Structure 1
Amino acid sequence: MDNANSPLQRLQKLITLEREDIGILITYGIGIGVLSLATPVAVQALVNTIAFGALFQPLLVLTVILLVLLGFSNSLVALQFYVVEMLQRRLFVRIFGETAARLQQARYVVNNEYHLPELTNRFFDVVTLQKTASTMLLETLGYVLQTVIGMILLAFYHPLLLAFDLFFVGALVFILFGMGKNGLSSAIEQSKAKYIAAAWLEDIASNQILCKSSENRTYLDTQTADIAQNYVDACAKHFKVLSGQNIGALILHTLANTLLLGMGGWMVISNQLSLGQLIAAELVVGAMIYGLTRLGKTLDNFYEMLASVDKLGYLVDLPQEKNKGGVLNLAEAPFKVDIENLTLPGGIHLDALNNAGLQIASGSRLVITEGVEKGSLFDVIFGLRQPSSGRVCFNGQDLRDLNLGLLRDTVCLVRDAEIFSGTLLDNIQMGRALSLTDVRQTLVHVGLADTVADLPASLETNLLPNGSPLTHEQCLRITLARALIGQPRLLLLDNVLDRIDNRVLPKILDYLLAEESPWTLIVASQRADIITRFDRKIKLHNGMLSDIKSDNQGVS
């Protein structure tokens, strides 16, 4: 998977999507920043008023004005909080929906490089992104805007205070970019180490029998310690950068405080600044440099936010199947399949295809007895893999010209048990408008009617992702039932029947091979009792398909 976009580029895209709300937050922030000057300006006016003689009426007017301004400022803060909450919800829903869609449309070859269930753990970084983005928008953005507005006010007081502004900005830029040049990369390394640890725990949880041996536990404990040390090392590397920036911020905090006091006092003594202006400047700078004491935490949030965006990018960047193309000219008859000159290099995950060809008439039932152990031929027919050359046609239409999603409504591939959390009925219906009568009849065909009837909740029994309380073999039959009830025009069974209970297998074969069944059937099997039930038998040898009887490639 190619992570072409940097975390900053990904963050920019998110900001672009939410630009309206972020624009509102900036507007509110500017208003809050301007209104935050109400207190120092009021103090300046109060000091000057007292210096020229204390009067109650000006004090009362000043107090009322300050009350109104601060009340309005806090109203804007409350509105900011509401906008950020809405933005957080929308961020979660958008990323959740996009991740679900991209996982559904992910190219099948991704499974050769990644363990998708483990990869989806990156989605939990959306919570980190929500919280850090909230902090950055509510606190950091407000601090930056107040600082900019405060520095503008100081610049109007005296040229030396303008020089102070420039010194402050220059030092801050050095702390952020000069001292933090490795901050993002070390934060990403720390995040990767975290997910390595999570993946290891997932491996342990998935192999419970393996963990019961004392010798095996010793090995697992050693690996656990190594992974923990890797995480600690990554944390130490990131903390080194963060700590340096934090120390730099605290030094700047100390210098800015003392420098302003010294400069301001000298300017007051020299009659270049009034006492009220000095106090106002101290209040403004106090608000500015307060953020420096929290800069370490602010930067930590910023790095976490970028690391979260980087991890979510692994899900966003999943290679996608094409979702365009024409619609197959559907007919009530089973599909005619033409395999023409297919070539696919062999490998660890692939059966080699070498100019393979085969014609399969509508309604045919055939079994492939050897050479397809890795399922490559079924992958190509189902559109999961692209051959190097050649093509597959359904009813004379090239697979490459068809919309795969729509095609698979009428072409079914069953390879292993596929169960999701939900009721048994949901796992069969999959949202389709199927009657309970049809569901129960299909369960009869796969030999599960009595088993389901014996369950306390029958069809409403909740299944775990591992299929419990059903056995794996029963879950395999549930998956087969899901395919059969849709009455597909082409049914592909990849070594499925070999794993079916012998007591129900003959009945299932009777239904699959019945003349009235509406599909063309292609089965992969190595079991003699299954192979003998088929009139046509095919083998894949040296990358070429051939009929076992005539041994002539491409016999129809």
Structure 2
Amino acid sequence: MDNHIPSIVARFWSMLRPDQKEIRNIYLFSIFSGILSLGLPLGIQMIINFIELGQMSTSWFVLVILVVLSIGFSGLLNIFQLRITENLQQRIFTRSAFEFAERIPLIRLTELMKKYGTDLTHRFFDTLTIQKGLSKLLIDFTAAILQLVFCLVLLSFYHSFFIFLGVFLVFTLGLIVRLTARQGMLASLEESSYKYKIAHWLKEIAQARFSFNLSGNRKFHIYRTDDYVQGYLSARDQHFKVLVKQYAYLIIFKVLIALSFLIIGGILVINQQMNIGQFVASEILILLILSAVEKLILSIEVVYDVFTAIEKIGQVTDLPIELSNQNQERVDATKGLSIQFDQVSCHLESYELSPLTEIQLQIHPQEKIAIVSDSSLSSSMLFCSLVGLMDCSKGTISINRIPLENLNKQSLREKIGSVLYRDQLVFGSVSDNIRYGRDEISLSEIENEISNLNLTSFIHSMPEKYQGILNPESHMIPIDVERKLLVARAMIGQPNLLIFEDPTAGLTSIQKEVLLSYIFKDEQKTVMVATSDPAVFTYCSRIIEIHQGKIRFDGSYESFKLTQSC
């Protein structure tokens, strides 16, 4: 926890690194604006000197014009800064959106199993927090710091005592930040964590709304929400206490500035070490300093919000992802793939028993395999390791005699059609759900797949046919239609290996027959199906049973039936 702030600051500058030129321009404009703002007290000092002389000269008139122009030009620089920060906000939003879209599917499965995928997507909304706070952080906060520094520097020219006072005040301000920033940052992070817990829980309620509606105890979701809200409010109170403490310190700092400069300025005027014009100018500088401190006070919460948002987004971008090497071997196959599992073991930290233990298995091209397991986790791990979603803790998997580690994963997955347990339709048209970004697939190919799966009548019942929108969240898509659409997505690219998990679950015997006859129709493909459905076994030339992570049976369906009857 002690390293949070340095890492967050590093993340902040890393986020802005692609826009270094724009950031430099913002800071240059801030410096120029800060210098121009000094024209007001200096100009007023000189104007008062002219007034004391009782003269109306051309110099006086020119001086007034210059002061007004400096104010106007300073405002113009602020407009330029706003334009630059608007461009920065748009770029940050765009980069964040594409980075999330690219990284989330590539996050290693072992890391996702420790978290909740949809909770990670909620972190994207922190991009909006960064957008809103960036202009205040880059413009207002920076301007306040520069204004404070420039005013203190200019005051030091009036008398040497102001130099020591300025150094003391800067040291005091730094000490306040040093003593309270870490505590405030940690409180802000805890507050944000509870915010995401609440958002995640509300999404859970929405996804399981039928279960909550039909349950006898209707208070469970309220109790859980209450727990999270209490945690959030407690964290919020802690964060607010830190903010109040910082506000109090800065207000004391503000009072000390006003008191010190007023007393010292008055004494210097009385002792004739400063004239009236200089005194008025110094008082304007004091007002500018107080204004800068007030801006810093109002910016503290924004700083916490931006830094917390950066840390939350970083928790997603820090997750390890699959790395693709284009120089690796590509899968070249016109028929079914051959697969070799050589002493493969997979272990999960959350389970005492290994889902797969020393699996030794040879699958020949064009074979039709049924995987029977006492735990669906074993078959899921087998398939996930086969397609490269999960690394095995031991052993080697080879495709067409090439170790999986030496294969280009994208090339491999282009040769595999799969419907795994977690696969689902997405909000979009029928054609989008089948194409899944493969624009080379024509509508006629989609129509052919739909026809083979007896889905034509369902598609034609939709007003917009293949452009009709499917909404998986509505729960109104028949289960057989959903399964068939997923199968169509898997098979339309003419893959060489088909992998399915429980494709017939919840289907009637007639629906099973239609689906299975289509899955197994191409004898050239290698097919692997994880199932306990005897209807699938009749299509398979080989049954493999996994018990407690190990292969207990490997043979024909007839032999398997004999083992079950014993």
TM-score of the pair, normalised by structure 2: 0.92
Query: Is the 8 Å Cα contact of residues 340 and 398 (structure 2) preserved in structure 1?
Result: yes
Q: Which stretches in structure 2 are left out of the alignment for 5+ residues?
A: 561-566
Is 1:174–2:187 an aligned residue pair? no
Match of residue 334 from structure 2: 332
Aligned to 1:138: 139
Q: Select the residue among 427, 439, 445 that pairs with 1:421.
A: 427
Q: Secondary structure at the match of 1:6?
A: helix
SS in structure 1 of the partner of residue 505 of structure 2: helix
Which range is displaced more, 345-354 or 488-497? 345-354
Do 1:187 and 1:303's aligned partners in 2 also have CA atoms closer than 8 Å? yes
Tell me the secondary structure at the aligned position of residue 363 of structure 1.
coil
Q: Which moved more, 1:217-226 or 1:83-92?
A: 217-226
Report the CA distance between 1:70 and its aligned residue.
Answer: 2.3
In structure 1, give the amino acid aligned to 2:26: L
Q: Which amino acid aligns with 1:42?
A: G
Tell me how far apart the structure 2 counterparts of residues 28 and 86 of structure 1 sit (CA, whole Å). 16
For residue 513 of structure 1, what is the aligned residue in structure 2?
A: 520
- 1:396, distance to aligned residue in structure 2 (A): 1.3
Q: Per the alignment, in what secondary structure is the counterpart of residue 217 of structure 1? A: coil
Partners of 1:368 and 1:198 in 2: how far apart?
A: 38
1:385 positional shift: 1.5
TM-superposed CA distance for 1:431, in Å, is: 2.6
Query: Of the candidates 424, 428, 444, which is equivalent to residue 437 of structure 1?
Result: 444
Q: Indicate yes or no: 2:547 matched with 1:541.
A: yes
Q: 1:382–1:413: 8 Å Cα contact kept in structure 2?
A: no
Give the Cα–Cα distance (whole angstroms) in 2 for the partners of residues 214 and 262 of structure 1.
Answer: 72
The 1:257–1:171 alpha-carbon spacing in structure 2 relative to 1, beyond 3 Å, is same
Answer with 465-474 or 169-178: which moved more.
Answer: 465-474
The structure-2 alpha-carbon separation of the partners of 1:468 and 1:440, relative to structure 1 and needing over 3 Å to count, comes to farther
Indicate yes or no: 2:379 matched with 1:382.
Answer: no
Which of the residues 400, 406, 419 maps onto 2:405? 400
**Structure 1 residue 404, shift from structure 2 partner:** 1.2
The one-letter code sitting in structure 2 at the alignment partner of 1:145 is L
Contact 2:430 2:466 in 1 (8 A): yes
Partner residue of 1:532 out of 528, 538, 542: 538
Please report the RMSD computed on the Cα atoms of aligned residues, expressed in angstroms. 2.1
The SS at the match of 1:180 is helix
Equivalent position of 2:238 in the other structure: 237
CA distance in 1, matches of 2:139, 2:436: 43
**Structure 1 346/142 Cα, relative in aligned 2: closer, same or farther at 3 Å?**
closer
Q: Equivalent residues in 2 for 1:177-216 (5 A)?
A: 177-212=178-213, 216=217
Q: Higher mean Cα deviation, 89-98 or 208-217?
A: 208-217
TM normalised by structure 1 equals 0.94
Matches within 5 A, 1:217-236: 217-236=218-237
The answer to whether the 8 A contact 1:363-1:521 is kept is yes
Correspondence 1:37-48 to 2 at 5 A: 37-48=38-49
Partner Cα distance (1:542, 1:252) in 2:
68
- Provide Cα deviations, 1:144-192, integer angstroms capped at 9, x if missing partner: 1122111111111111111221222122112222243411111111111
Give the drift of 1:277. 1.2
Write out per-residue CA displacement over residues 197-234 of structure 1, whole angstroms, 9 at most, x where no aligned residue.
21221222222133336852223322222222111111
Distance 2:365 2:160 in 1: 89
Check conservation: 1:477, 1:500, Cα contact below 8 A. no
Distance, in Å, in 1 between the alignment partners of 2:120 and 2:140 is: 32
Aligned counterpart, 1:554: none
- Amino acid corresponding to residue 336 of structure 2 in structure 1: P
Q: What whole-Å deviation, never above 9, does each CA across 1:105-164 have from its counterpart, x for those lacking one?
A: 111223321110122111101111111111111211111112211111111111111122
Q: Paired residue for 1:29? A: 30
Moved more, 33-42 or 223-232: 223-232
Partner Cα distance (1:470, 1:47) in 2: 81
Sequence identity of aligned pairs in percent? 28
In the aligned structure 2, how far is the partner of 1:347 from the partner of 1:472? Answer: 34
Which residue number corresponds to residue 314 of structure 1?
315
Secondary structure of the residue aligned to 1:248 is helix
* Separation (CA, whole Å) in 2 of partners of 1:108 and 1:506: 33
Render the CA deviation track for 1:208-262: whole Å, top value 9, x for unaligned: 1333368522233222222221111111111111101101111121221122111
3-state secondary structure, aligned to 1:119 = helix
What do the CA deviations read for 1:497-538 (whole angstroms, capped 9, x no partner)? 334443232122222222x45421111111112212222222
For the residues of structure 2 that align with 1:513 and 1:310, how far apart are their CA atoms?
Answer: 49
Whole-angstrom CA distance in 2 between matches of 1:296 and 1:313: 27
Give yes or no for contact 1:32–1:76 (8 Å, CA) kept in 2: yes
Check conservation: 1:351, 1:376, Cα contact below 8 A.
no
> Is residue 11 of structure 1 aligned with residue 18 of structure 2?
no
The CA distance in 1 between the partners of 2:46 and 2:189, in whole Å, is 50
Aligned equivalent of 2:362: 359
Farther off after superposition, 490-499 or 418-427: 490-499
CA distance in structure 1 between the aligned counterparts of 2:174 and 2:349, rounded to whole angstroms: 53
CA distance, structure 2, for counterparts of residue 336 and residue 235 of structure 1 = 58
Change (3 A) 1:381 1:29: same
